Structure 1
Amino acid sequence: MPDMTPAEVAQRALPLVDLTNLDETCTTADIDALCARAATPHGPVAAVCIWPRFVTQAASLLAGSGVRVATVVNFPQGGDDTLAVVADTRQAIADGADEIDLVMPYRAFVSGRRGFAETQIARVREACGDRLLKVILETGEIGDPLLIHAASLLAISAGADFIKTSTGKVKVNATLEAAEIMLTVIEEIRREAGPEIGFKPAGGIRTVEDAAAYLAIADRILGANWVAASHFRFGASGLLDALLAALDGRAPTTAKGY
């Protein structure tokens, strides 16, 4: 994105934000505040991403706003109890979730149980029906670039609509290196006339410069017209403040959080 000002980057990034509160201490009052923040003076974010116990509340608050409600399952551990994960998915959808962010059982995948990981994703895909499924690979824990590439392909083959880098709950979360690998897989799928798969970097993205770096990689690999909320999101809490500051011409405050 050559010669784009911070305000121009912010204008492009704001409608791509999944405004997130996955704090352990999150309260109903916090969800009220999050949903209020989702409709900004510069337009709405794409979605809020919250714990399942708050989905009904958020769906009611955001009804008719165009802001989608995303929630997490198998989060953040990426465990092996597929029946429980499927049940949680069905309940979240019944409560009003538009999107499910599933942590793939990445430890099982890394240990060689790829069929198990694929089956869990496929079962959740089935439970999602027509709802959007984002699969969190936890790339910082997988580590190996070849395994990140393989995990991306596996998630897509099992039915992911999006592949997402991270939970935001581990030491290494979104990185530009992981983004490069995952976006390259998405381009490979597109070249083969496969489905249009989305990408969501999450965890540690807090500044306009951070957002610009991820958008630049997407533009380079997939073309300048590819990025849209239908297949690119930022998972973040602190990023919104930085984007609004840039759009208002203010100095950003120090952003914290997911």
Structure 2
Amino acid sequence: MKQQDDFEEAVAQTAIRLMELTSLNTDDTAERIVALCHRALTPLGNVAAVCVLPRFAGIARRTLDTLQAREVKVVAAVNFPNGRAPISTVESETHAAMLMGADEIDLVYPFNAHLMGDRLMGARMIAACKAKCGSRGQLTVSLETGVLADPQIIHSVCRTAIAEGASFLKPGTGRQVEGATAQAVRILLEAISERSYLVGIKAPGNVRTLEQAKTYIDMACNRFGPQWLEPGRMRLGTSSLLDDALMRLGVCP
């Protein structure tokens, strides 16, 4: 039993270190984002990042800096949640978020346009978004693999995202009915191994329990080794997971 407890504690510690706390609600307020930033600093170490809507990037960055947590990244989600915005809007969102202090951008891939036959819009949007990130900003591409569905399509989109400069691939936002699956994550990992080991991976945006987190941690570790279990290679996009991890470690959320 002691060995099992130690193992769970190790997984929980790893999960906290890789966590990207999110608040992407239409009714979000500045107060809610400030509270999210405070949650990012746990008694057992800071999480990797917070992910917010572009209009809150500035207050998130200022709050974290005030808390002397500059290492916690601010991620701004653009083209969220349905991936339907025109490229010009995505460029404006990205540019504004970076000016306000975002460190990274999370772009929802235009999956609807892709399924309607426009195979070029995705590449153009990723390239345009990457350009607005500048030299310091990292770019995540959220693919909504549950909607894209077909493994060959998912693999092709992964290759496009990597070629256009993605820093991370993410199988989905967690906001679509058709959620990402473990099989989709395997496809992403395969594409990363084929094209560029410098590209990281983010788990789906609906990871809620330590058991779910462990599934994705194990997949990345088995594929690329334990050196991948660091925030520059892997993230767990979630908020509710933090409570579960802290409880397993004996800390009241």
Q: What's the counterpart of residue 100 of structure 2?
A: 95
Alignment pair present for 1:177 and 2:179: no
- Counterpart contact for 1:152–1:182, Cα < 8 Å: yes
User: In the TM superposition, what is the alpha-carbon distance from 1:174 to its structure 2 partner?
Assistant: 3.3
Letter in 1 for 2:114: F
Give the number of equivalent residue pairs. Answer: 246
Deviation readout 1:159-181 (Å, 9 max, x if unpaired): 11111111221113332111111
Q: What's the counterpart of residue 105 of structure 1?
A: 110
Alignment pair present for 1:163 and 2:165: no
Q: How far apart, in 2, do the equivalents of 1:213 and 1:173 lie?
A: 16
Q: What's the counterpart of residue 215 of structure 1?
A: 217
Q: How far apart, in 1, do the equivalents of 2:179 and 2:104 lie?
A: 21
Evaluate the alpha carbon distance shift between residue 80 and residue 21 of structure 1 in structure 2; reply closer, same or farther with a 3 A threshold: closer
Letter in 2 for 1:42: L
Unmatched runs of 5 consecutive residues or more in structure 2: none
Aligned to 2:226, the other structure's residue is in SS state coil
User: In the TM superposition, what is the alpha-carbon distance from 1:29 to its structure 2 partner?
Assistant: 1.6
Q: What's the counterpart of residue 146 of structure 2?
A: 140
Alignment pair present for 1:55 and 2:61: no
Evaluate the alpha carbon distance shift between residue 50 and residue 80 of structure 1 in structure 2; reply closer, same or farther with a 3 A threshold: closer
Aligned to 1:147, the other structure's residue is in SS state helix
Q: What's the counterpart of residue 24 of structure 2?
A: 22
Question: Which is worse superposed, 76-85 or 12-21?
Answer: 76-85
Q: How far apart, in 2, do the equivalents of 1:62 and 1:208 lie?
A: 26
User: In the TM superposition, what is the alpha-carbon distance from 1:111 to its structure 2 partner?
Assistant: 2.7
- Counterpart contact for 1:174–1:201, Cα < 8 Å: no
Q: How far apart, in 1, do the equivalents of 2:115 and 2:145 lie?
A: 11
Q: Quote the sequence identity (%).
A: 40
Deviation readout 1:70-108 (Å, 9 max, x if unpaired): 111111111251011101100000000001000111112
Evaluate the alpha carbon distance shift between residue 195 and residue 123 of structure 1 in structure 2; reply closer, same or farther with a 3 A threshold: farther
Aligned to 1:170, the other structure's residue is in SS state coil
Q: What's the counterpart of residue 88 of structure 2?
A: 83
- Counterpart contact for 1:18–1:45, Cα < 8 Å: yes
- Counterpart contact for 1:7–1:249, Cα < 8 Å: no
Of 120, 128, 139, the residue aligned with 1:123 is 128
Q: What's the counterpart of residue 37 of structure 1?
A: 39
Q: How far apart, in 2, do the equivalents of 1:72 and 1:80 lie?
A: 12
Alignment pair present for 1:7 and 2:13: no
User: In the TM superposition, what is the alpha-carbon distance from 1:47 to its structure 2 partner?
Assistant: 0.5
User: In the TM superposition, what is the alpha-carbon distance from 1:118 to its structure 2 partner?
Assistant: 0.3
Letter in 1 for 2:156: A
User: In the TM superposition, what is the alpha-carbon distance from 1:204 to its structure 2 partner?
Assistant: 2.1
Letter in 2 for 1:131: G
User: In the TM superposition, what is the alpha-carbon distance from 1:12 to its structure 2 partner?
Assistant: 1.0
Q: How far apart, in 1, do the equivalents of 2:223 and 2:87 lie?
A: 34
Aligned to 1:8, the other structure's residue is in SS state helix
Aligned to 2:234, the other structure's residue is in SS state coil
Q: How far apart, in 2, do the equivalents of 1:124 and 1:7 lie?
A: 38
Alignment pair present for 1:153 and 2:159: yes
- Counterpart contact for 1:16–1:233, Cα < 8 Å: yes
Cα-Cα RMSD: 1.7
Q: How far apart, in 2, do the equivalents of 1:73 and 1:249 lie?
A: 34
Evaluate the alpha carbon distance shift between residue 62 and residue 20 of structure 1 in structure 2; reply closer, same or farther with a 3 A threshold: same
TM score, norm. by length of structure 2: 0.92
TM score, norm. by length of structure 1: 0.90
